[in-house]
Amino acid sequence: MAQLVKRAFRYRFYPTDGQAAELSRTFGCVRLVYNKALEERTRAWFGEQRRISYVQSSAALTQWKKTEELAFLAEVSSVPLQQALRHLQTAFGNFFARRAKYPRFKSRKKSGASAEYTRSAFTWRDGRLTLAKMSAPLDIRWSRPLPEGVVPTTATVSRDSAGRWFVSLLCEDSIVPAPATGAAVGIDAGITSLVTLSTGEKIANPRHERCDRVRLAKAQREMSRKAKGSANREKARRKVAKVHARIADRRRDFLHKLSTRLVRENQTVVIEDLTVRNLLKNGTLARAISDASWTELRSMLEYKCAWYGRELVVIDRWFPSSKLCGACGTIASKMPLNVREWTCDCGVVHDRDVNAARNILAAGLAASACGDGVRPQRESSRTGLSSVKQEPQRATAGTPRP
């Protein structure tokens, strides 16, 4: 049975000079309203122990527009400004619920430039999008069609650090679950092989950042020679940003294709709950781990499994997948990172990654069947951050953590 989900479709567009100027003004006003409202709420909370609601912030925005100093806020569409206040309200809600840190001020250089338009602030006619305060529709490159008969509910316009313009259209899409299959797969994430499957297949790591490392270093050297604040430095910065954008785009495309394939071919997908933030503390491997982007792969698997009726099982981060013999159940005392193949006392020769993937699959299927995890015998000590993945003694299976 098909289910309705909110789905964003992102496209690149090329604005005219007038549209670019209008959007740039809107971005600046959105950032100013967000920062000013955050300043007011911070002063009220720390100075008076008083909370300011969204309604109060919205009323304050109306008063700001009436002042001579901030009268220019009335020159842009009011909807993106109101949406900025709603985003700030959400940020404070997450903070008070202890789901996020205290909201931070938006920087012109470090924060992404974006503005969100709701249905009342844009016109959608014959497949063309016209934003408020604009007379002509945006010149969008339709790399893929929107679902037939779907009208966007929200349009988010953004400009990345490389100067590229994008519009993200939020729609309600009907997704049909994929045909059921009895296949299941365990996935062991790595660096040499991005993922190793329990079937024995190893998918090589494309290493997108390494492929463009020479180009990136050259662009960074050229930027360092330019005078700060000059137009030439801004041009050089754009070149650096374009290299970074190329790396990110290629990585994202590869992960989308990989995750879609895994979800289509398997009814059950089992992965590890890796603490990537802790693993990045390893200075030797941090760059390679960041390039692998395990967190982004997991995120894709999570929502695609939910969309297409698949089961995603996440086993505990302490499960000793690499040290556990899949034949006899013996746990090796040590397993240095340079050991890629090892022989158990029972005589079975294991490929480190394939054995880990098969152990992950077995633990995930056991957890899915009984609702609990496999708990091997605890050892006297735990491994630290010297290895790529933490593989201590305790092993439980669970659900994805927030």
Per-residue pLDDT reduced to its tens digit, 297-323: 999 999 999 999 999 999 988 888 888
In this structure, which amino acid lies at residue 400? P
Same domain, 45 and 112: yes
Look up residue 12 and give its two tokens.
């690149």
The answer to whether residue 311 is catalytic is: no
Same domain, 51 and 142: yes
Which pLDDT belongs to residue 57?
95
For the entire predicted model, the pTM comes to 0.83
Per-residue pLDDT reduced to its tens digit, 170-209: 999 888 999 999 899 999 999 889 999 999 999 999 999 9
Rounded percentage of the chain residues whose pLDDT exceeds 90: 67
Q: Are 61 and 37 in contact (CB under 8 A)?
A: yes
Among candidate residues 134, 157, 175, the one where a domain is terminated: 175
Answer whether residue 339 is part of any domain: yes
The answer to whether residue 353 is catalytic is: yes
Is the pLDDT score of 397 beyond 70?
no
Cα-based angle 50, 56, 59 (whole degrees, multiple of 5): 150
Is the pLDDT score of 384 beyond 60?
no
Per-residue pLDDT reduced to its tens digit, 311-370: 999 998 888 888 888 888 888 888 888 888 888 888 888 888 999 999 999 999 888 776
Domain count along the chain:
2
Answer whether residue 401 is part of any domain: no
Alpha-carbon distance 273 to 280, whole Å? 15
Same domain, 170 and 210: no
* Domain boundaries, position 44: 3-175
Q: At 395, is the pLDDT very low, low, confident or very high (cuts 50, 70, 90)?
A: very low
Q: At 375, is the pLDDT very low, low, confident or very high (cuts 50, 70, 90)?
A: very low
Residue with tokens 């790595």: 190
Q: At 75, is the pLDDT very low, low, confident or very high (cuts 50, 70, 90)?
A: very high
Answer whether residue 89 is part of any domain: yes
Among candidate residues 157, 175, 193, the one where a domain is terminated: 175
Which pLDDT belongs to residue 371?
60
Query: SS3 sequence, 14-45?
Result: CCCHHHHHHHHHHHHHHHHHHHHHHHHHHHHH
Burial class (CB in 10 A: 0-12, 13-18, 19+), 262: buried
Q: Are 325 and 348 in contact (CB under 8 A)?
A: yes
Same domain, 162 and 202: no
Is the pLDDT score of 12 beyond 70?
yes
Rounded percentage of the chain residues whose pLDDT exceeds 70: 92
Q: Which residue in 291, 316, 353, 391 is the catalytic one? A: 353
Q: Which residue in 116, 188, 291, 316 is the catalytic one? A: 188
126 Rama sector, left if φ>0, alpha if ψ -120 to 50, beta otherwise? left
Answer whether residue 393 is part of any domain: no
Same domain, 54 and 150: yes
Q: Which residue in 209, 272, 291, 316 is the catalytic one? A: 272
Alpha-carbon distance 112 to 114, whole Å? 6
Alpha-carbon distance 75 to 72, whole Å? 5
Q: At 37, is the pLDDT very low, low, confident or very high (cuts 50, 70, 90)?
A: very high
Same domain, 308 and 346: yes
Among candidate residues 151, 175, 199, the one where a domain is terminated: 175
Answer whether residue 392 is part of any domain: no
Q: At 390, is the pLDDT very low, low, confident or very high (cuts 50, 70, 90)?
A: very low
Answer whether residue 318 is part of any domain: yes
Answer whether residue 151 is part of any domain: yes
Same domain, 247 and 298: yes
Same domain, 116 and 40: yes
Same domain, 56 and 204: no
Same domain, 308 and 209: yes
Mean pLDDT estimate for the chain: 88
Same domain, 221 and 368: yes
Answer whether residue 191 is part of any domain: yes
Same domain, 199 and 164: no
Per-residue pLDDT reduced to its tens digit, 93-137: 999 999 999 999 998 877 679 999 999 999 999 889 999 999 999
